[in-house]
Structure 1
Amino acid sequence: MKDMVSLARLDGMAQAELCARGEVSAAELFDACLARIDALNPLLRSVVTVAREPTRPAKPGPFSGVPFLVKDATPWPGMRWSMGSRLFAANVAQQQTPYGRQLDESGLVCVGKSATSEFGLIGSTETLLEGVTHNPWNLAHSATGSSGGSAVAVAAGLVPLAHANDGGGSIRIPASACGLFGFKPSRGLTVSASFASSDFGDMTSDHCISRSVRDSALFLSITEDRSRGAPVGFVRDPIARKLRIATWTRTVMGSEPEPAVRRAYDEAVALLTELGHEVEPIAPPAFDGPALGDAFFLVSGAAIAGVVELVDRTRDIPVQSDELEPFTWALVDTFLARGPDALPQSRAVFARAVHTYHEATRGYDVVLTPTIATEPWPIGHLSPVLGREELLRRTARAVGYTPIQNIAGCPGMSVPLHFPDGGLPIGTHFAAAPGADALLLGLAYQLEQARPWKDRWAPYSIPALRP
């Protein structure tokens, strides 16, 4: 058996290969993973529920025996499903989703649930239910969100990969902050990971956060909805042609990124040029930023208002004020105050933004921007107890690039290309047209070869603390 530290250095495919060759058993992989969680999770607080024993034997498959985490926004049978909310603190999932069934069939073994902001609404993984999830690169800083628990667990070497989902950047932003690869698939590419539907849910894509591109590519291949036409399949190789890449730095709100983010962006442009791609600065899409931000959070509020209404119908007392965080209530109240035209108006804003985005990027293979406009923020900067207006203002400053891909249904990815000395990682964002997931993954392989990141470990990670 390999020790828990040497296993922590391996990606999921490498762990599965060891298991397939009989050099380590699925039980040993699971136990080593538990040991890593026990050693470091009390400090980082990335895992909110731990399965002390596998719920079932690992099935044969490409990831057979590999331990992973499921984001607590998503159900997994027999495990607590709180969605980061005190309202569901004691909720235990009973049924498996189609998405979960395909993960199970791949041989992945769920070892627990990862932390999320309440209902995935805030870009920092700190809740009144679970507390704060700390960034392993700097414990005073946020892991961002909402998939911060998954990103921290992978960055710390607790698991080789972790499920996550993304409704406005919630895979890509934590991947950027934690020095990892974060891919968001095209809308509708994968099978359903939910039991309910809403406008916000329709913008949300499920996938994973990983250390290696190949783990992400394999994860995508096993979760594809193969009834929708020709599948992407398992993308294995770097792209072999020159790409035409459009690029800009201005956020949807019209501001420019912080200097450290600009340096990371400039390095990425230089690398792409060195690799032979045609990188062309263009005028950013002329979005109505305030209207787009307002519509995004109205849609979010509508989804949570639906949850509150459902709970109110199924129990004797209505949802109480202390069962949801202040920001969550503010979104619900704002949506309800807008009346029945709120959702149709938000959809119209989205439609105009999508048209603007596609017109601006027509003729290009890829769009390059920063992932976030600021360096990863300190804990408390996006706290759920802040007032609604202040929290929205801070979010708009930082999260100015990623939500449009959710609205437009495009694939996007944050690639960890910049690791400043003494600072936190800063990812670079790439997007493509809906359905061009294979193209993006091919570019990711090329970037991974050119600037390898697999051996860059956070200071508070198993390999860094126990070399």
Structure 2
Amino acid sequence: MSERGVHAFTDDALADHDAVALAGLIRSGEISAAEAAKAALARARQVDPVLRGVAFWGEPPSGPGAEGPLAGVPTFVKDNTDVRDMPTNHGSAAFTAKPAPATGPFAAQLLGTGLVNLGKSRMPEFGFNATTEFMAEEPTRNPWHTAYSSGASSGGAAALVAAGVVPIAHANDGGGSIRIPAACCGLVGLKPTRGRHLESAQARQLPIKIISEGVVSRSVRDTATFWAAAERYHRNPALPPLGLVEGPASRRLRIGLLLDSVGGVRSDATTRAVVERTAKALVGMGHEVEPTRLPVGDEFMRDFTLYWGLLAFLAGTFGRRTFDPSFDTSRLDGLTVGLRALYRRRFPHTPATLYRLARVKAAYRRMFLRHDVVLSPVLAHTTPELGHISPTVPFDELLHRLTRYVAFTPLNNVAGSPAISLPTGSTDEGLPVGVQLSAAHGDERTLLELAFALEAETPWRRIQDQ
């Protein structure tokens, strides 16, 4: 540990292995799955009093675990996804969940890869915020510098992976919630194409299906291996098969470059510099990089904000039916309350908003008539200190700060397209800075191939080397 950062890497069964290496050691018998789980729990108990990434402590299953390429590798499941006999509290203080009677569809797919679940990771209330902070509880802290946000909504997962507690963890993404914490914590985070995986009942019922499931990891090969294994469990025949991506491809790509987002949101100087250096590295590999424009106008963020408010309205209004009879709206956090009020004021605009959002997919596709990939920031500015976007900030100011921060990621959720966050740079304070690569629907393969190339060209910084 350093004065500013916290990590759990040590000379135990996990060492500094990624998930693929750890699974190989378990298969060969050099270590056991039980030893890996014991080491991960010990690491979690060492750093979690500071990082606060764990929502619920489980017990590793006894007996033979699931088979699969990642068999025996410890992980955590995010606190908005059902796992049998564990509560699902969605990061909210408005109710106390009872243990789930069954494991949800995606959690079954996740664990079907062989991963061993050790508990639940923390998240902000209903995943609405871009930081894992709360009204009264301690926040989840960034392992690279504990005064800063770990991102969200998969902030607990990202903190645990970045700190070395587990090599890979479940994450999901309704507006950037895989990519944002990956960028904040120096990880790889792939949001897949809509339909690539099994969905929860709630996700299937949304008028615009913005939620994608996935993982955060410390290496590209872990993410690639996970998705190949998940595809063995379930493959959507409507999408191109992904298969196992094992390294970069040799083909030359046409890459569009975005530095600013809708609504006049400009990325800050540090973020721009990291994206431009990444673009230069891609040119050095033989790719063509040229400026491009977003396929949506300023109305996009207004529409997305209203949809965000609709989700908060539904969560609050139907909380007793959806979550638990103990649901108490007076205990909702400031962001949820503010979003609900915003939606009540603007609800007559709902039909037009949903109509425009449904048309985004076609507009997004047009961007890839000219380009194979688009390079952009993940976030418009570098990771903020804790408190900057806390739910305790007055709502109007909080919403302004959030929309000036989370300006690039929501487009892929609404379009249903794939995008990946890669930690190619850092701030003067040593915090990671992520870049985003986006591709056409169904083309995760190109993103992973390019990610392998960038990982080799610009190796990620390691927290244990600070």
**Corresponding residue for 2:39?**
32
1:90 offset after TM fit, Å?
A: 3.4
**Corresponding residue for 1:371?**
378
- Structure-2 change in CA distance of 1:316 and 1:153 (3 Å): closer
1:337 offset after TM fit, Å?
A: 3.6
Tell me the alpha carbon deviations over residues 97-128 of structure 1, each in whole angstroms, 9 at most, x when there is no partner: 22222222221100111111111101001123
Cα separation, 2, equivalents of 1:202 and 1:317: 26
Of the candidates 449, 453, 457, which is equivalent to residue 442 of structure 1? 449
**2:278 is the alignment partner of 1:271:** no
**Corresponding residue for 1:249?**
259
Tell me the alpha carbon deviations over residues 25-48 of structure 1, each in whole angstroms, 9 at most, x when there is no partner: 111000000110011111111111
Q: Which amino acid aligns with 1:295?
A: D
Q: Which amino acid aligns with 2:116?
A: V
Cα separation, 1, equivalents of 2:302 and 2:129: 15
Of the candidates 136, 157, 162, which is equivalent to residue 150 of structure 1? 157
**2:346 is the alignment partner of 1:338:** yes
Cα separation, 2, equivalents of 1:254 and 1:4: 49
The question of whether the paired residues in 2 share the 8 Å contact of 1:97 and 1:195 is answered with no
1:5-20 equivalences in 2 (<5 Å): 5=12, 7-20=14-27
The question of whether the paired residues in 1 share the 8 Å contact of 2:208 and 2:358 is answered with no
SS of residue matched to 1:239? coil
**Corresponding residue for 2:336?**
328
**2:224 is the alignment partner of 1:214:** no
Cα separation, 1, equivalents of 2:331 and 2:194: 32
**2:271 is the alignment partner of 1:261:** yes
Cα separation, 2, equivalents of 1:191 and 1:327: 29
**Corresponding residue for 1:72?**
79
Q: Which amino acid aligns with 1:138?
A: H
**Corresponding residue for 1:202?**
209
Q: Relative to structure 2, which stretch is displaced further, 72-81 or 374-383? A: 72-81
The question of whether the paired residues in 1 share the 8 Å contact of 2:66 and 2:112 is answered with yes
**Corresponding residue for 1:226?**
235
**Corresponding residue for 2:69?**
62
SS of residue matched to 2:204? coil
1:96 offset after TM fit, Å?
A: 1.2
Cα separation, 2, equivalents of 1:317 and 1:100: 24
- Structure-2 change in CA distance of 1:314 and 1:212 (3 Å): closer
**Corresponding residue for 1:287?**
296
Tell me the alpha carbon deviations over residues 53-88 of structure 1, each in whole angstroms, 9 at most, x when there is no partner: 426642222111100011112111111211100123
Of the candidates 347, 357, 360, which is equivalent to residue 354 of structure 2? 347
Cα separation, 1, equivalents of 2:409 and 2:63: 37
Cα separation, 2, equivalents of 1:29 and 1:435: 34
Work out the number of aligned pairs and report it.
455
The question of whether the paired residues in 2 share the 8 Å contact of 1:33 and 1:159 is answered with yes
Of the candidates 438, 459, 462, which is equivalent to residue 457 of structure 1? 462
1:237 offset after TM fit, Å?
A: 2.3
SS of residue matched to 2:14? helix
**Corresponding residue for 1:308?**
316
Q: Relative to structure 2, which stretch is displaced further, 74-83 or 203-212? A: 74-83
Cα separation, 1, equivalents of 2:422 and 2:161: 15
- Structure-2 change in CA distance of 1:241 and 1:286 (3 Å): closer
SS of residue matched to 1:287? coil
The question of whether the paired residues in 1 share the 8 Å contact of 2:60 and 2:116 is answered with no
Cα separation, 1, equivalents of 2:296 and 2:89: 35
1:45-124 equivalences in 2 (<5 Å): 45-54=52-61, 57-124=64-131
Tell me the alpha carbon deviations over residues 386-434 of structure 1, each in whole angstroms, 9 at most, x when there is no partner: 2222111101111111110111111001111113453211111100011
- Structure-2 change in CA distance of 1:317 and 1:281 (3 Å): closer
**2:429 is the alignment partner of 1:422:** yes
The question of whether the paired residues in 2 share the 8 Å contact of 1:246 and 1:361 is answered with no
The question of whether the paired residues in 2 share the 8 Å contact of 1:69 and 1:112 is answered with yes
SS of residue matched to 1:336? helix
Cα separation, 1, equivalents of 2:324 and 2:143: 43
- Structure-2 change in CA distance of 1:267 and 1:88 (3 Å): same
Cα separation, 1, equivalents of 2:374 and 2:155: 25
Cα separation, 2, equivalents of 1:4 and 1:367: 40
Q: What is the RMSD computed on CA atoms of the aligned residues?
A: 2.3
Q: Which runs of 5+ in 1 are unaligned?
A: none
Cα separation, 2, equivalents of 1:263 and 1:93: 46
Cα separation, 2, equivalents of 1:304 and 1:47: 24
- TM-score, scaled to structure 2: 0.91
Q: Which runs of 5+ in 2 are unaligned?
A: 1-8
1:315 offset after TM fit, Å?
A: 10
Of the candidates 236, 245, 259, which is equivalent to residue 235 of structure 1? 245
SS of residue matched to 1:202? coil
- Structure-2 change in CA distance of 1:11 and 1:165 (3 Å): same
Cα separation, 2, equivalents of 1:316 and 1:70: 20
**2:41 is the alignment partner of 1:41:** no
The question of whether the paired residues in 2 share the 8 Å contact of 1:161 and 1:210 is answered with yes
Cα separation, 1, equivalents of 2:323 and 2:76: 31
**2:145 is the alignment partner of 1:132:** no
**2:186 is the alignment partner of 1:186:** no
Q: Which amino acid aligns with 1:178?
A: C
Q: Which amino acid aligns with 1:320?
A: D
Q: Which amino acid aligns with 2:259?
A: T
**2:405 is the alignment partner of 1:405:** no
- Structure-2 change in CA distance of 1:464 and 1:201 (3 Å): farther
The question of whether the paired residues in 1 share the 8 Å contact of 2:319 and 2:327 is answered with yes
The question of whether the paired residues in 1 share the 8 Å contact of 2:422 and 2:451 is answered with yes
Cα separation, 1, equivalents of 2:237 and 2:323: 39
The question of whether the paired residues in 2 share the 8 Å contact of 1:176 and 1:415 is answered with yes
